[in-house]
Amino acid sequence: MSIKKQARTTIVGYENLNNQKNLGRLNEKGTDYGQWFYQMECLSCGFKYKANGSDIFQRKCPNCQGGRP
Ligand SMILES: [Zn+2]
């Protein structure tokens, strides 16, 4: 995995292709090695949840499974 590509997804304000926005890193270790949890927000329904830094880019909203039409 490209570190460069991964790093971009952990920047505050990053939005992935499923309309999920990164609101910033939480003070909590993620479940993947060397990762942290990040606060995510669904821009479709406003639902907030946390995600591992390693899979922010592919996250979908657990509430509405939101994606761009
Ligand atoms: Zn949603």
| pLDDT tens for each residue of 7-60 | 589 999 999 999 999 999 999 999 888 889 999 999 999 999 999 999 999 999
Instruction: Say whether pLDDT at 1 is over 60.
Output: no
Tokens 């570190």: give the residue.
Answer: 3
Instruction: Say whether pLDDT at 67 is over 60.
Output: no
The residue with greater pLDDT, 66 or 36, is 36
Cα(12) to centroid(ligand 1), Å? 19
Cα(17) to centroid(ligand 1), Å? 13
Chain center to CA of 40: 5
Cα(43) to centroid(ligand 1), Å? 7
Q: Which residues surround ligand 1, an ion (CB under 5 A)?
A: 42, 44-45, 47, 61, 63-64, 66
Q: Residue 20: what pLDDT? A: 95
Residue 23 makes CB contacts below 8 A (sequence gap 6+) with: 12, 38, 39, 40, 41, 48
